Amino acid sequence: MRWRRKRRLVRCLAKSRQLSAIQNNTARIRPGDVLLFSTLRNEKIRLPHFLRYYRDLGVDHFLIVDNDSSDGTHEFLSGQKDVSLWHTDRSYRRAAFGVDWLNHLLRKYAHGHWALVVDPDEFFIYPFCDTRPIRALTDWLDNTSVRSFGAMLIDIYPKGPLDQAIYSEGQDPLEIARWFDSGNYTIRKNPTYGNLWIQGGPRARTFFPDNPAKAPALNKIPLVKWNRRYAYVSSTHSLLPRGLNQVYDQWGGEKTSGALLHAKFLHTFAEKAEEELSRGQHYAGSAEYRAYAEQSAASTDLWCQWSEKYINWRQLEILGLMSKGNWA
């Protein structure tokens, strides 16, 4: 495992040469700042709400890799003082699906900081997030000597065909996509890295009904008190050293955990899926996007009679999808 971690760190150093700084405001980062890292491509329509959401949560600085967007992402992010931006036109797949780029930025800028790593369609939810800023959570984690914080990815979707869920730039996606699966999940332990592996939800039942084991993983570890010796291995599903993956209680209780509301399923979904399928830059030969294409993603309706309407984090805790543990 030490060798795997060192290899990851060497890889990220090599891949760092693929990044060109467009706007480097990292000199503004102060000790104790909470940092957010993300890789994106052609997500300008989501960025106004994404930035507003995380600023309101208490994120102090955004470090973003733009993988050759053509929709005005560069121009939108330029000039924002709490954003540092890098550009690359190199292969997302050959950079371990962007992990190498983010590992480099984490190693260089996040040492000693709490780092939140999310996609632009993911919204971090944690206990008391409606009344407490993210700094309250990280302070508590520091005081309890916890270095990593787990979150389950929960797909949210509209009621009705996806192509009718018209999303406007800057809009809160929860205004039109507020439903989720309250059950229909499987969980097992990954013997290699010690992390939990969660699958299920609307993508498993709709796009992978005959082979749910091929459905996307829903387990994430997005929030970590970073050290330059750490490295993500597979997106934010697992890290090295392995101890960072144990974000669950092994003795029958519950550790504090959160959720990531995944607002992928809007009217933009079919076009985005078609673009990513043609690029072939995603995991397993873009098998996930092939499944979307085969199911005519634009007209797909993910809603079913067991769908639950999202209210707040307390609802997710009651359903067993996250936990406040012993944080009161």
Q: What pLDDT was estimated at residue 231?
A: 98
Whole-angstrom distance, CA of residue 276 vs CA of residue 171: 23
Kindly indicate the confidence band of residue 193, based on its pLDDT and cuts at 50, 70 and 90. Answer: very high
Is the model's pLDDT at 281 over the cut of 80?
no
Supply angle C-alpha 158, 160, 161, rounded to 5.
Answer: 100
Is the model's pLDDT at 276 over the cut of 90?
no
Structure token pair of residue 191: 């013997």
Nearest CA to 115 out of 304, 107, 187, 301 is that of 107
User: What residue ranges in 215-324 does DSSP mark as E strands?
Assistant: 219-225, 231-234, 238-240, 258-262, 307-309
The torsion angles phi and psi of 195, rounded to 5 degrees, stand at: -90, 160
The torsion angles phi and psi of 39, rounded to 5 degrees, stand at: -110, 135
Q: What pLDDT was estimated at residue 280?
A: 61
- Which pLDDT tens digit goes with each residue over 293-315? 666 666 789 999 999 999 999 99
Domains along the chain?
Answer: 2-318 (3.90.550)
Kindly indicate the confidence band of residue 285, based on its pLDDT and cuts at 50, 70 and 90. Answer: low
Q: What pLDDT was estimated at residue 268?
A: 87
Q: What pLDDT was estimated at residue 250?
A: 78
Whole-angstrom distance, CA of residue 298 vs CA of residue 77: 29
Mean of pLDDT over the chain: 93
Average pLDDT over residues 129-153: 98
Q: What pLDDT was estimated at residue 117?
A: 98
Q: What pLDDT was estimated at residue 279?
A: 67
Kindly indicate the confidence band of residue 199, based on its pLDDT and cuts at 50, 70 and 90. Answer: very high
Residue 143, classified by CB atoms within 10 Å of its CB into exposed (0-12), middle (13-18) or buried (19+), is exposed
Kindly indicate the confidence band of residue 288, based on its pLDDT and cuts at 50, 70 and 90. Answer: confident
Who wins on pLDDT, 227 or 295?
227
* Span of 20-24, 137-141, 167-171, 299-303 with lowest mean pLDDT: 299-303
Helix (H, G, I), strand (E, B) or coil at 157: strand
